């Protein structure tokens, strides 16, 4: 169960309205790595988790905080939009380049659809979608997804930090960036702890027996491009991070197989096949060419 | 530039057709973590990369291999569909439970739209989309995304391995799982090397000065749920993985701020506000209630 | 801020696993009118609201309950999937029609992607999306959207109630249907109260002066089909529900305007226009025909 | 069957081209509550309706009118785009702030893709989608959805009315707003008539026996937030609008159930479970912690 | 303006209900090449057309017919669903393989969401979307898109024809396939007529001067794969269909350019660049490697 | 298999950065008819093809070239973004109208998400999706789709050519437009060759016996609008392009069928039907009206 309190974790009030920035801030609210993604991802991982105890408690504990971050951003955005202009005449634009810029820089749906309100979309107006989240049931994979989520999120918040001079906005971003620092560290710690606890190891999933994977190619670096520096990396020689193999370097593939013959589905699919009745009537040369393929 | 060779990296021929399995295999072709995602993600990261040398060569080298994996899966799927039934009468179904099962288990667009062919969709028929990939320009974040991608991909391939008895299919999956083992290790190695080379560190982005983030909360574990075990993890005490802080544990938030007052946008947005002209005509009690908030 | 408690509002445990039903239940979790829609809709309306007091408190109070309903359904689904079969041989299917049916009736991504877990998608596997919600800033419009949401939701839950014999599932649905009864009534009461309080009236938005709308057609029922019974309804004669007009009935349109001439954009758009230079060289008859249009 | 006449219901010609406004107008053409949604929603409800007579005739009669509204808006947009600039040099922009504003404010696909033409998208360029419509087979629910659709539509048209000075555009909007007034009233009348006719009642669906819903909580207002004013509304006390119950008010939930134990799916899903073979080898303390959960 | 008549162009009644087939038929209603696509594509082309006369009249005339086809399919689908089973017990399934098959083969949203009704989605449940249509303003390009649309549509209808024994369904498909024959021919005729009228020619757009395109490569067949038969086609030698060039054949590219250096965006994007301040502190060898790239 | 070479087919370097144009160029990278669509379409057609020889070799040969075009555009875009401004103060905007314009004209996700990099989206920020491609298994239909794809692509590139003065950008577009000229011609040649080879003919699919289509209406032009010029086209009289019929012209439909009665699904769907138990209690007149329909 979730309970709501009409307070925020941190002040979320801008010094002044800024409709152009309100659109940019939608990215960290409703974008691929926005707070809705983060909150829902931790929620689904918690609901789908298969072990009780500290890992599940960790997921529940942070999911609820993140729903509060969704709220802070939505409220910040609606305040940034508070003085958003409704309509602009040509005359107004002629005399005011800032106003001219505002015309194009805003999310017009924040005005037309939400009446100067926040929306569950990213900074280009794409609706948030369930396909943004990851919840696989394997915690080592998912915690890596979470670490990535917090890194992309902190990166975007840092970029947004440089795009405004508004002290109120910067203050909130400073808070959110700090929480992203915490959460990056938290997932890195949890990734290590899962391994230390003997619960899961690399390569994920560690419960799939490596004897069943192709033993020839599982530690080969195959370079399908002509870049000469790829072989200089630690991924091309030496022991592998999972502690189970040794990297080797190869130019291009070490294995090959012939291309299978084209398929011939049931004629009632009306595909173009070498068995077309029309083809029977045609000149032998064409048919020959088709069949020698 | 890309060049194509009419050979495969590994045999991709099933022992027998299986239209139900053909649908499941779409997940690792066109799903969130399918091979199209992986190939396009490495491609965009390469095209957007800001440093020459080994890291860019690594991205180019693996992107091209992955486009070949897209091809292997598409060709495998079209063969699994080769004998797909076109239409089924009730009588046929009555006598054949397997046939009955096939009716529901297939991707009907593979039949109606592609004529027994592979499609750029996932196992539930959702089209592949650009929003599945990550390319941020920050390599430490993106390599973490890549490691996650290879983990989720290997996990899905392992699950699919248990869903068939077909030796040809299992053989291809065994190959792909092995490559995922390699690629997981490769990104883990590259994540370490980026740090060893002094190019980027945790927390990402390391070029954003931590002095600008909120120093109070950047290493606090805040538990917004009532699970008592969350405090037992290594994310609740001790030094942080980035080497720059010390974790502390707290029940709930350590900071708070009052909820800002509701916004009052321009009246021409026709939102419901306390300034509505209609409200002026109404009884005082209502207005008072609205304003005491 | 949101706080989480590791309890549920009502028991959410099935008597037995049922992977086919788990897929159907996704509809009321992640569908157009599922609980994610309802929770997010009330959340955004609360964050965007322009008046303090009882209406905003109402939105905050119910939003949090609905996030708990999301949780109950996700947890129910993961339990319904607990014994989901991984892979099925032809032999197993031959001997078990139920098993045969299960093959086709499941959400295969619940297996391959989530490892027998709930997902933020609807019953056909479409991801939940932000475009499902409504938050316009006008409370009379939005509460009508909410009433509709609770009606569609109760309708779907009632249909799902008839699709299972599982007592645990039926018990949860019985609870959710009851809450939908409450919430339908609540929004109907609030719709009336907004009008009684003099805050907003029909037609929405009531702050747009009706003198600016076309006075000729604003209460005319225009029948663009040939159904003779349309004129029998209360929408074709008598006073209008907004108390501001009188319905009249008309077969077809009462107004008409000529179709404007085709546009002629800049030639650099390379559209097909009557000004094409190629056309100058062609026979007069063609050109004439084009221009008489 | 549908028949087309090359006339419009009302004049749809702007006084002057305005590419920036052409983009905004896309919202009421191809947005969530645009005319395509309204036309298709009434069409599908008509095709799916289960009773002959006045209600079906009503749906058919208005659906066809709305397809004509789609046409008027598309034609208006293509005229607003008629003089859209193709390309702009820096010099032109330097001397003309309006031109500068135009660069950013337009839908660039209207230019690049449609060659200065209307498109089936909303004002942020998202394609119209079938998920925007509602057609459930239950007329009381669907007519409520329709009433909401006409309210949101009139609200958006009213906002757009304030965003232009063009008399031709305002004249068309004045017509569309008037039709929305009519259609709001029409659905409100039909909602009442369905009940008066004894066909359907609140709560929807009225054919689901309320004895099967949880009798404890079906008229309780549960406040999951800390807003003190929620209890002041008519939804917290007194008789319910459906005439079948009495509202009561409660702080938080009146029922509770323990969180079910985590699930343990088949090991071949490779989820992280308490049964992991790796775990057997680990230290007892960890295992204990995991199991006490 | 559109007018509706409560008659159909052809009988659209199945001999018997078939919920599994109802799902398949959604493809030609709401799929990429379904009737909604066709109707909306012709509508938008008509509304955006730049020349009066026969071509615009052609588009208006056929658009309205296609909206009637949408209607016929929706009505057929709702009848196929009329006896759709609501819920199935295990016992029923045990005794009835056909019933077992039905469970998986249906569109469960047709039941749960639409109450046994048609929906604006394809056969895998993806909503119809505006991105399915083409309307560019260039009639030669668009008529080619239309010809393709009618071909894909007739192909899908033909496949569906083989998937049922129902005489009523086959009768409707026989009608729709015949109309597709007509419409394929119609667009092929119109493609020729546009050229004969001197309005547009290949290559499209013919108003773009070919002197501005790269004259070296505009008629070269470049083979980027190793298939030896590609050179045997009429696309590899001889005069080109546009009458303006001569095909030539080449193995691989005839031109090449060096890969540009990686970009170095503003440091405030926090990308991984060779200018990272962290890098300054690192060992020279690494920096050298990065810069020799 | 695909192999990558770190060279481009043509120079892809702008003379100067231009963030506004970088957004526009996304259309031909990730739009409906962008290079990703073209490359993936040819790839899937090759993988699904049913005949060996020249047609399959053609598809493989061009697919790989197109992946190289994706690369050239991505690299061009990242260079156009190289000097993209991060943040803008009001003061800067006041003094610089170009800068003001830039604010609104850019794809803000190129900045916030990709750190000044290319993205797999179109010019309005919609993600590329698998639903953009066509691969039906019937080569005559698909080659027509391909011809259309190259026409729409060349048209968009031509429009983009006029939207910039940058010589480097124009040089690349000049190259791509030339390749589109080639590819248009190539598919037109292949369309003819398929027919000359006797493999497939119009109407597609030619393997569906025309005796099974409705012989009455398969060559009738039916005009559902009131445009008088439609009858003047070659599609209204004379022999049909497929050589199998004769066009005839008709005002409106030549066939008709009565609208079927509304459906009556199972009562457990809770639809609004004439069998509603509530209805039994209501006044006879209403019931009669409902049933006379």
pLDDT (tens digit per residue) in D127-174: 999 999 999 999 999 999 999 999 999 999 999 999 999 999 999 999
Q: From CA F100, how far away is CA F97, in angstroms rounded?
A: 5
Task: Give residue E89's pLDDT.
Answer: 57
Task: Give residue A279's pLDDT.
Answer: 55
Query: Between these two residues, B11 and A280, which has the higher pLDDT value?
Result: B11
Residue with tokens 């909401």: D148
**Is the bond leading into D205 cis (omega within 30 degrees of zero)?**
yes
Residue E279, pLDDT > 70, answer no
What average pLDDT is seen over chain F? 92
% of chain D beyond a pLDDT of 70: 88
With CB atoms and an 8 Å threshold, state whether A159 touches E289.
no
Task: Give residue A84's pLDDT.
Answer: 77
User: Out of E8, E40, E118, whose CB is closest to D44?
Assistant: E118
Q: What is the complex's ipTM, to 2 decimals? A: 0.94
Which of A72, A78, A92, A66 has the alpha carbon at shortest distance from A12? Answer: A72
Interchain contact F162–C (C-beta under 8 A): yes
Q: From CA B116, how far away is CA C84, in angstroms rounded?
A: 28
Which of A2, A3, A45 has the alpha carbon at shortest distance from A149? Answer: A45
pLDDT band at B293 (very low <50, low <70, confident <90, very high): very low
- According to DSSP, residue F273 is labeled B
**Among A248-257, A267-276, B32-41, F1-10, whose mean pLDDT is lowest?**
A267-276
Q: Which residue of B has its CA nearest to C58?
A: B293
Phi, psi (rounded to 5 degrees) for B105: -85, -5
| Shortest Cα distance, chain C CAs vs residue F280, angstroms | 20
The mean per-residue pLDDT over the stretch A172-196 comes to 98
Task: Give residue F87's pLDDT.
Answer: 63
pLDDT band at A139 (very low <50, low <70, confident <90, very high): very high
Residue E88, pLDDT > 90, answer no
With CB atoms and an 8 Å threshold, state whether A48 touches C114.
yes
The mean per-residue pLDDT over the stretch F244-267 comes to 96
pLDDT tens by residue, C54-107: 999 999 999 999 999 999 999 999 999 998 777 665 666 666 767 766 777 889
Interface contacts (B, D; CB < 8 Å): 20
Task: Give residue D106's pLDDT.
Answer: 87
pLDDT band at B83 (very low <50, low <70, confident <90, very high): confident
Interchain contact D216–F (C-beta under 8 A): no
pLDDT tens by residue, F185-197: 999 999 999 999 9
Query: Between these two residues, E87 and A32, which has the higher pLDDT value?
Result: A32
User: Out of E159, E289, E293, whose CB is closest to A269?
Assistant: E159
Task: Give residue F293's pLDDT.
Answer: 42
3-state secondary structure chain A: CEEECCEECCCCCCCCCCHHHHHHHHHHHHCCCCHHHHHHHHHHHHHHCECCCHHHHHHHHHHHHHHHHHHHHHHHHHHHCCCCCCCCCHHHHHCCHHHHHHHHHCCHHHHHCCCCCCCCECCCCCECEHHHCCCCCCHHHHHHHHHHHHHHHHHHHHHHHCCCCCHHHHHHHHHHHHHHHHHHHHHHHHHHHHHHCCCCCCCCCCCCCHHHCCCCCCCEEEECCCCCCHHHCCCCCEECCCCCCEEEEEECCCCCEECCCCCCCCHHHCCCECCCHHHHCCCHHHHHHHHHC
User: Out of D159, D270, D289, whose CB is closest to B159?
Assistant: D270
Task: Give residue E221's pLDDT.
Answer: 97
Is there a contact between C118 and A133 (Cβ–Cβ < 8 Å)?
Answer: no
Residue with tokens 């970088």: F22
List of chain C residues with pLDDT < 70 = 87-95, 97, 100-101, 275-293
Residue D280, pLDDT > 60, answer no
Is there a contact between E178 and F219 (Cβ–Cβ < 8 Å)?
Answer: no
Residue A243, pLDDT > 70, answer yes
The mean per-residue pLDDT over the stretch A187-211 comes to 97
Which of A273, A277, A252 has the alpha carbon at shortest distance from A264? Answer: A273
Task: Give residue B291's pLDDT.
Answer: 46
User: Out of C103, C271, C279, whose CB is closest to E137?
Assistant: C271
Chain B positions touching A175 (Cβ under 8 A) are 214, 217, 255
Chain F positions touching B69 (Cβ under 8 A) are none
% of chain E beyond a pLDDT of 70: 89
Task: Give residue C44's pLDDT.
Answer: 98
Task: Give residue A247's pLDDT.
Answer: 98
Residue-level length of chain E: 293
Q: Which helix (H) or strand (E) holds C8?
A: strand C7-8
Q: From CA E228, how far away is CA A43, in angstroms rounded?
A: 55
Which of D126, B81, B274 has the alpha carbon at shortest distance from E127? Answer: D126
With CB atoms and an 8 Å threshold, state whether E130 touches D120.
yes
Residue D291, pLDDT > 50, answer no
Task: Give residue E286's pLDDT.
Answer: 53
pLDDT band at F89 (very low <50, low <70, confident <90, very high): low
Task: Give residue B61's pLDDT.
Answer: 96
Chain D positions touching B289 (Cβ under 8 A) are 229, 232
Chain E positions touching A159 (Cβ under 8 A) are 268-270
| Shortest Cα distance, chain F CAs vs residue B274, angstroms | 32
Residue E293, pLDDT > 50, answer no
User: Out of E101, E159, E282, whose CB is closest to B197?
Assistant: E282
Q: From CA C27, how far away is CA C12, in angstroms rounded?
A: 16
% of chain D beyond a pLDDT of 90: 84
Phi, psi (rounded to 5 degrees) for B225: -120, 180
% of chain F beyond a pLDDT of 90: 84
Q: What is the largest CA-CA distance in chain A?
A: 82
pLDDT band at E92 (very low <50, low <70, confident <90, very high): low
Task: Give residue F234's pLDDT.
Answer: 97
**Is the bond leading into A203 cis (omega within 30 degrees of zero)?**
yes
Which of D75, E45, E176, E2 has the alpha carbon at shortest distance from F225? Answer: E2
Residue F143, pLDDT > 60, answer yes
The mean per-residue pLDDT over the stretch D187-215 comes to 97
pLDDT band at B91 (very low <50, low <70, confident <90, very high): low
Q: Put the strands of the sheet holding F238-239 in their side by side order.
A: F220-223, F246-251, F238-239
- According to DSSP, residue D259 is labeled P
The tokens for F108 are 């803000």
What average pLDDT is seen over chain E? 92
Task: Give residue E84's pLDDT.
Answer: 76
Residue A128, pLDDT > 80, answer yes
With CB atoms and an 8 Å threshold, state whether C115 touches D270.
yes
| Shortest Cα distance, chain A CAs vs residue F191, angstroms | 13
Show the beta-strand stretches assigned E in chain B.
2-4, 7-8, 220-223, 238-239, 246-251, 257-258
Chain D interface, best mutation among C157, C167, C232, C263, by max D CB count within 10 A: C263
With CB atoms and an 8 Å threshold, state whether E134 touches F116.
no
| Shortest Cα distance, chain B CAs vs residue A244, angstroms | 10
Q: From CA C265, how far away is CA D82, in angstroms rounded?
A: 5
Task: Give residue F291's pLDDT.
Answer: 47
Residue-level length of chain B: 293
* pTM beyond 0.90: yes
Residue E277, pLDDT > 80, answer no
Chain C interface, best mutation among D111, D218, D258, by max C CB count within 10 A: D218
pLDDT band at E291 (very low <50, low <70, confident <90, very high): very low
């Amino acid at each position: 169960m979730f309970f709501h309190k009409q307070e925020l974790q941190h002040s979320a009030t801008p010094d002044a309205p800024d409709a152009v920035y309100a659109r940019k801030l939608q990215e960290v609210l409703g974008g691929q790595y926005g707070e809705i993604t983060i909150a829902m991802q931790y929620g689904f991982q918690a609901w789908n988790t298969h072990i009780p105890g500290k890992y599940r408690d960790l997921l529940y504990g942070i999911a609820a905080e993140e729903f509060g971050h969704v709220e802070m951003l939505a409220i910040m955005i609606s305040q940034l939009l508070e003085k958003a202009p409704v309509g602009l005449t040509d005359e107004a634009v002629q005399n005011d380049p800032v106003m001219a810029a505002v015309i194009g820089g805003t999310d017009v749906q924040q005005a037309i659809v939400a009446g100067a309100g926040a929306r569950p979309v990213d900074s280009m107006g794409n609706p948030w979608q369930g396909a943004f989240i990851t919840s696989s049931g394997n915690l080592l994979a998912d915690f890596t997804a979470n670490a990535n989520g917090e890194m992309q999120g902190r990166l975007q918040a840092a970029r947004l930090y440089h795009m405004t001079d508004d002290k109120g906005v910067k203050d909130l971003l400073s808070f959110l960036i700090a929480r992203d620092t915490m959460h990056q560290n938290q997932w890195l710690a949890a990734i290590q702890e899962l391994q230390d606890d003997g619960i899961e190891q690399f390569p994920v999933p560690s419960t799939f027996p490596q004897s069943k994977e192709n033993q020839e190619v599982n530690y080969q670096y195959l370079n399908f491009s002509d870049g000469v520096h790829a072989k200089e990396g630690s991924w091309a020689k030496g022991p592998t991070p999972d502690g189970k193999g040794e990297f080797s370097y190869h130019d291009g593939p070490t294995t090959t197989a012939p291309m299978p013959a084209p398929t011939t589905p049931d004629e009632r699919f009306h595909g173009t096949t070498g068995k077309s009745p029309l083809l029977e009537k045609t000149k032998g040369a064409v048919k020959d060419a088709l069949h020698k393929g």
